[in-house]
Amino acid sequence: MPTFQVAIVGAGPAGYFAAQALQNAQNEDKTFAIDMIERLPTPWGLVRSGVAPDHPKIKTVSKVFEKIATAGNFRLFGNVELGTDVQLTDLQAKYDAVIIATGSSLGRKLGIPGEDLRGYLSAADFVPWYNAHPDYTGVDVPLDTDTAIVIGAGNVAMDVARMLALEPSELDPTDTADHAIAELKKSGIRKVYICARRGAEHAAFTSPELRELPKLEHTNVIISKADIDAAIIAAGDTPEKDVKSNLDAMLAIAEHVKTSHERTMEFLFHHVPTEIKGTDRVQEVVFKTPAGEKVIKAGLVISAIGYEAAPLNGITYEKGKVLNTEGRVKENIYVVGWAKRGPSGVIGTNKSDAAAVIELLISDLKTPKNVGDLSDLIGSHKVITQTHWEAINTAEVSSGEPLGKPRVKVADKTELLRLGGL
Ligand SMILES: Cc1cc2nc3c(=O)[nH]c(=O)nc-3n(C[C@H](O)[C@H](O)[C@H](O)COP(=O)(O)OP(=O)(O)OC[C@H]3O[C@@H](n4cnc5c(N)ncnc54)[C@H](O)[C@@H]3O)c2cc1C
C-alpha cells in the first residue's frame, strides 16, 4: 500500500485540520505520513497566541489538535522555521506534497501620519505580547495614560479593547502572560474607545462576543442608542441574519443600565482616523466624523484592522495572501487557513477549508517519491517533537494548578526548550 509523505508548515488550526483530513482519507489504497513543521517550540498557532485569555472555552479545541498529533502517522517538528532552518525547495524535493499553513501574522497599517510614534501599535504586536509569544515579550506597551483608542470593528479590536478595559485581577485565573498581567495591573487606563470607520450595521463583530460585554464585572460598556437606532434604519427592513443579531446585541448594550465603574469601554461609530499626533509619544488622534473633525486625547492607540501573511521565499503573494487557486499554489505546494483566505472566519472555518484543499491534493497524487524526509535536512538542529511538547505542556499546566490558572505560559524560547528536555 503506497504511503505518501506530506509536510505541513505551521501548527495552527489550519495545519491540524489539514492533517486530520489526510488521516480521515486513509484507506486500503493509500496512507499518509505527516510531518508538521512549526517555527515556535509550541504548537497551536493563534489558539495559543491569539485567542483572548479570558475566553478559555475557545482554546479547548487544542484537545482535538492533540488527538490528531498522537495518531501514529504524525510527527511534530517544532522549533523549525521554513525559510531559515529549512527551505521550501528542499521540502518540495523530499515530500509528495507541501502544505503551507503559516497564517497571517503582520498587522495591516492604517496609512496615516503618526504611526511611528511611541504609544502606537498594532494588535498584531499587542495580542502576542499578552499571550506570551516568545518573539513579542519585548514589545513596548506604554500603559501610563488614562485613555486608549482601539481602531477597528472586528472581534480582534473587541478583544484588545476588553483586555485594556477590564479590571486586571480578572486575568489572574487566566493564562495571560505573567509580564502582561504585571504591566496591566500598573495601567493608568480607565477609558477605552473602540472606533469604527462606518456605522454599526457594517461592524464585523460577532454577536456572541458582543452579548458577553455587559457581563464584565468592573467595566461600564457604552454604545449610543442613537447610533444603533440609525444603524437599524440604515440596515433596512430585511437585514442579513448576522447583521440583525449584531444590532440586537448592540442595542442590548446601549439599553443596559450604566454602572458607576471607573473603567469604561465605549464604541464610537463613523469615526475615521486621519492623523495620530504627538511629539515623541502619541497624544491625540484626529478623526473625521459626520459632525466634522474631532480630536480625542489618548496616550495609547492600537489598530486592529486586519492581518497580512508574512512573505515566504519562493511563494507569490497577492493582497496579503498566498496566490492560489482553491488551495493549489504551484507544483506540489498547497495552502490552507489564513495564509490562503486572509484573516476571516472562526477556527472551525479552517476545518472545512482544509478538507476541501486536501481533496484536491489527493486527486493530484500519483506515486510516492520515497526519497527521505525532513530528518535528512535539519542535521543536529534542536527539534521539539510531540514528546518534547507534551513535557512543556505538562510543565505549564502543572505550574498553573496551584494558582487556579489553566497554565502558566512560558514566553522564553530557551526555557521552553529546556522544559522540553533539550
Ligand atoms: C487576536 C485573535 C483572536 C482570535 N480569537 C478567535 C476566537 O475567539 N474564536 C475563533 O473562532 N477564532 C478566533 N481567531 C481566529 C483564529 O485564531 C484563526 O482562524 C486561526 O488561528 C487561523 O489558523 P491558521 O492555522 O491559518 O493560522 P495560525 O493560527 O496563525 O497558525 C500559523 C502557524 O504557523 C506558524 N508559522 C508561521 N510562519 C512559519 C514558518 N516560516 N515556518 C514554520 N512555522 C511557521 C506560526 O508560528 C503559527 O503557529 C482569533 C484570531 C486572532 C488574531
Residue 101 CA to ligand 1 centre (angstroms) = 9
Ligand 1 pocket test: pick from 40, 51, 383 the residue with the most ligand atoms within 8 Å of its Cβ. 51
Average pLDDT over residues 137-164: 98
- Domain boundaries 108-306, corresponding CATH code: 3.50.50.60
The pLDDT of residue 72 is above 90: no
Residue whose CA lies nearest to ligand 1 atom number 12: 346
Q: Which whole number is the average pLDDT over 52-64?
A: 97
For ligand 1, atom 49, name the residue with the nearest CA.
45
% pLDDT > 90, the chain: 96
* Ligand 1 geometric centre to CA of 207 (Å): 21
Q: What is the pLDDT of residue 257?
A: 81
Mention every residue, 6+ apart, whose C-beta is less than 8 A from residue 114. 120, 275, 276, 277, 278, 282, 285
Q: Which atom of ligand 1 is nearest to the CA of 13?
A: 25
103 CB within 6 A, ligand 1: yes
Average pLDDT of span 267-292: 97
What pLDDT was estimated at residue 193?
A: 98
pLDDT per position as a tens digit, 197-216 = 999 999 999 999 999 999 89
Which residue has the least CA distance to atom 51 on ligand 1?
A: 50
Torsion of CA 370, 353, 26, 48, to 10 degrees: 80
How many angstroms separate the CA atoms of 99 and 334, rounded? 5
Q: Supply the residue whose CA is at minimum distance from atom 37 of ligand 1.
A: 102
User: With a 6 A CB cut-off, is 46 part of the ligand 1 pocket?
Assistant: yes
- Averaged pLDDT of the chain: 96
CA 27 from centre of chain: 34
The mean per-residue pLDDT over the stretch 366-374 comes to: 93
Instruction: State the closest ligand 1 atom to the C-alpha of 37, by its place in the atom list counted from 1.
Output: 43
Give me 92's grid cell.
518540495
Q: What pTM value is reported for the model?
A: 0.97
Rounded to an integer, what distance in angstroms lies between the CA atom of residue 225 and that of residue 241? 20
Ligand 1 atom with least separation from CA of 45:
49
E strands within 290-361?
Answer: 292-297, 300-303, 307-308, 317-318, 321-322, 328-330, 333-335
The alpha carbon of 108 and the centre of ligand 1 are apart by a number of angstroms equal to: 15
pLDDT in tens, 349-360: 999 999 999 999
**Calpha distance 298→201 (Å, rounded):** 26
Residue 333 makes CB contacts below 8 A (sequence gap 6+) with 88, 92, 97, 98, 99, 100, 315
Pocket of ligand 1 contains residue 13 by CB under 6 Å: yes
Tell me which residue has its CA closest to atom 50 in ligand 1. Answer: 51
420 close to ligand 1 (CB < 6 Angstrom) = no
Say if ligand 1 is within 6 A of residue 383 CB.
Answer: no
For residues 221 and 251, the answer to whether their CB atoms sit within 8 Å is no
Q: Report in angstroms the alpha-carbon separations of 80 from 11, 76, 337, 342.
A: 11, 10, 20, 23
pLDDT, one tens digit per residue, over 76-129 is: 999 999 999 999 999 999 999 999 999 999 999 999 999 999 999 999 999 999
pLDDT, tens digit (0-9, with 9 covering 90-100), for 21-50: 999 999 999 999 999 999 999 999 999 999
pLDDT of residue 409: 98
Map residue 382 onto helix, strand or coil.
coil
User: 40 and 415 in contact (C-beta within 8 Å)?
Assistant: no
The string over 97-133, giving b where at least 16 C-beta atoms fall within 10 Å of a residue's C-beta and e elsewhere, is: bbbbbbbbbebbebebebbebebbbbbbbbbbbbbbb
Question: Is 51's C-beta closer than 6 angstroms to any atom of ligand 1?
Answer: yes
132 close to ligand 1 (CB < 6 Angstrom): no
Query: Is pLDDT at 260 greater than 90 in this prediction?
Result: no
Give the pLDDT score at 277: 98
Mean pLDDT lowest for which of 57-66, 136-145, 251-260?
A: 251-260
More confident of the two residues 135 and 257: 135
- CATH number 1.10.1200.30 is the correct assignment for the domain at 3-105+309-420: no
Cβ of 302 less than 6 Å from ligand 1: no
For residue 1, what pLDDT band results from cuts at 50, 70 and 90?
confident
CB 262, CB 271: distance < 8 Å: no
Can you tell me the distance from the alpha carbon of 2 to that of 5, in angstroms, rounded to the nearest whole number? 10
pLDDT band at 258 (very low <50, low <70, confident <90, very high): confident
Nearest CA to ligand 1 atom 16: 347
No. of H helices and E strands in the chain?
Answer: 15, 19
Helix ranges restricted to H, 166-292: 178-185, 207-212, 225-235, 241-255
Of 361, 406, 283, give the one whose Cα is nearest residue 100: 361
- Amino acid letter, residue 384: I
pLDDT, position 44 = 98
Binding site membership of 102 for ligand 1 (Cβ less than 6 Å) = yes
- Ligand 1 touching residue 196 (CB < 6 A): no
64 or 379, which is more confident?
64
| Minimal-distance CA residue to ligand 1 atom 7 | 51
What's the whole-number mean pLDDT along residues 315-324? 96
Q: Is the CB–ligand 1 distance for residue 273 below 6 Å?
A: no
Domains of the chain by residue range: 3-105+309-420, 108-306
User: Above 90 in pLDDT, residue 418?
Assistant: yes
Q: Mean pLDDT across the stretch 393-406?
A: 98
pLDDT confidence of residue 259: 80
Q: How far is the CA of 346 from the centre of ligand 1 (A)?
A: 10
